[in-house]
Structure 1
């Protein structure tokens, strides 16, 4: 799949377009809703860049590949896009997929600005070819752990599936909570049905259950089972990975409300963010998630780099430390962060929010970090 957004103000330019490759989960088992929002942000920013004259008078073009949450498919797409001559790579939502793409981008020498994936170890070794906008998992999930402690929850259960990402999240929570008097109990969803999990949860005495599982299943079934179990009426359900962010979560109705999750937005958007929010809302026909803003900011940064340093891949990779761009959610600069091998925006704003039970389309800010 590929797409070439309207060239608008750059149509009169001479010369070929400047092309950016985009990795996006657009089909199952990828989280399609997140992919749709990510792509909307990327495409909206490309249109705005071209309306403003493109890159030195040349149109910016987005070449999209569907990863379907498949690391091997993503790695193959990196090779394909590199062969097509793209100047840089953007996107991806799933951390495990982004890690495969980052490794391949590093190997072939293709600059990759990762939009949404948060796994700390995005690459095995430090690299100059990869930068990231989303906050590292350790940063955001520690903030979430502080929220839990502040709300009086120290005995935490996690419903978990096997994954590098979920295992990393469990470790971060345990490392942060245990020294502060908390505990983390793992409930292996490979071995438990949602009903059996409720039995285990009732016996464990936990006051909060975190969904470290895929959406829609088994997350939806777990939520419904817990909400209907009278023994668990007082338990907090949480979803640090952000499953309740996208509008499709609203299909759970009242069951899906009051489930705190992480999102990466400021308390109040500035003028640019407010303008982009209006554009994205019209494009998506629903409220844009933070993922859509991440997509927009990705193109904003890459366009600035390409205008300043040209489309040479090596010069783009060398330019990450010089980035200084006003994004939709704050000033974006990259630095080296201990324990993270890529150039990192440290940090995007972090909130813990939930859907208001009285109005599930409205979000309540519970904690900021």
Structure 2
């Protein structure tokens, strides 16, 4: 695993000669952050930086990442933004956790630092519209409505949601409820903070739910809930889902084995990668020693966009922020352009491809595409 630099890294010490263009990178690399997702995000960022430098850098100047571990802590992320501004980075990239990205976006907006958010999906990434922040990941309302369409199409009209207290999980619950209710679906909320996995099973039986959505942390309590449901004969026909994407990563399969299959989640990849995406997939697989998740592609695309903006508009922060609406970059998953989207306060790529995917029960190492939107 890549460890974050010390307060004064060698990269920072070398910037006194003015040769490097630096980009700050916020990544969850330690618990309680989702460290595996952070490793994939960082792998994509680093691969793209290497390729930018192999191609001549930014007007002949090397591109460098200044990495800070957020550990899923909004306060730590905000402090990192303050530090990165003082260090003189040209822009900010990354972050996986929505609540953490929201804290980073607020500081970037306040301090005038352009921030290209890689993975976080929370609709309200900033409280007010801002020109300083853009985002590659689809807004939660967009992706989760596609997931709701999948549920209805699969015949699930009575859905239980096992959720932990969180702005992100609460937002997801609201999106699902608001979308399903007019279409005949019902949502029952189960507060995991007051229920054991066995009690969750009892609640599913009591409410007659045909699907259980896991809006909870990974590995726990997600793993314990999955195991409990799989072992309860009363719930043999209940489908479990994890729209936030927990089953995407290898740790899920390692901890759950066959129990982790047939649990649909959201993935932001096209049905088929183009030439650039296929090449990057091969390079990421070598770098990670495993299949890259969509998060790794998000990291790569983040640097691809920022490098193009910095080449075309220079390293001045204000000019970078002004360039969002003029971006047109071929990414690993399609042409990336930003626009103002109703209800979204940042410049948004509308939209990256969205799939509903699960691990194949016949081969949990293989993914099946169940639905696309």
- 2:230 is aligned to 227
Match of 2:150 among 143, 147, 159: 147
**Residue 343 of structure 2 aligns to a residue in which SS?**
coil
Cα distance per residue 1:175-230 (max 9 Å; x no partner): 00000000000000000000111111111101000000000000000000000000
The alignment status of 1:350 with 2:354, answered yes or no, reads: yes
What is the alpha-carbon distance in structure 2 between the residues aligned to residue 112 and residue 183 of structure 1?
A: 38
Counterpart residue number, 1:10: none
Matched, 1:157 2:143: no
* CA root-mean-square deviation: 1.2
Verify: 1:39 aligned to 2:46, yes or no: no
Match of 2:171 among 158, 168, 172: 168
1:187 is paired with a residue whose SS is strand
What do the CA deviations read for 1:58-96 (whole angstroms, capped 9, x no partner)? 000000000000000000000000000000000000000
Partner of 2:370: 366
Q: Distance in 1 between matches of 2:362 and 2:236?
A: 18
Aligned to 2:243, the other structure's residue is in SS state coil
Mapped contact 1:5–1:43 kept (Cα < 8 A): no
1:127 — aligned with what? 130
Offset, 1:15? 4.8
1:302 and 2:306 equivalent? yes
Deviation (angstroms), 1:2: 2.9
- 1:259, 1:354 within 8 Å by CA — same for their partners in 2? yes
In structure 2, the residue corresponding to 1:98 is in which secondary structure?
helix
Q: Corresponding residue for 2:284?
A: 280
| Number of residues of Structure 1 aligned to a counterpart in Structure 2 | 362
Query: Which residue among 330, 336, 345 is the counterpart of 1:332?
Result: 336
2:72 maps to 1:74: no
Q: Is 1:291 paired with 2:295? A: yes
Of residues 190, 193, 204, the one that matches 2:193 is 190
Runs of at least 4 residues off by over 6 Å: 3-6
Say if 2:54 is the partner of 1:54: no
2:272 aligns with 268
Q: CA deviation at 1:16?
A: 1.2
Corresponding residue of 2:243: 240
Secondary structure of the corresponding residue to residue 190 of structure 1:
helix
Inter-partner Cα distance in structure 1 for 2:212 and 2:157: 11
**TM-score when scaled to structure 1?**
0.97
Q: Which residue of 1 aligns with 2:214?
A: 211
1:5 Cα deviation from its structure 2 partner:
11
1:5–1:348 Cα change, 3 Å: farther
Q: How far apart, CA to CA, are the structure 2 residues paired with 1:330 and 1:161?
A: 34
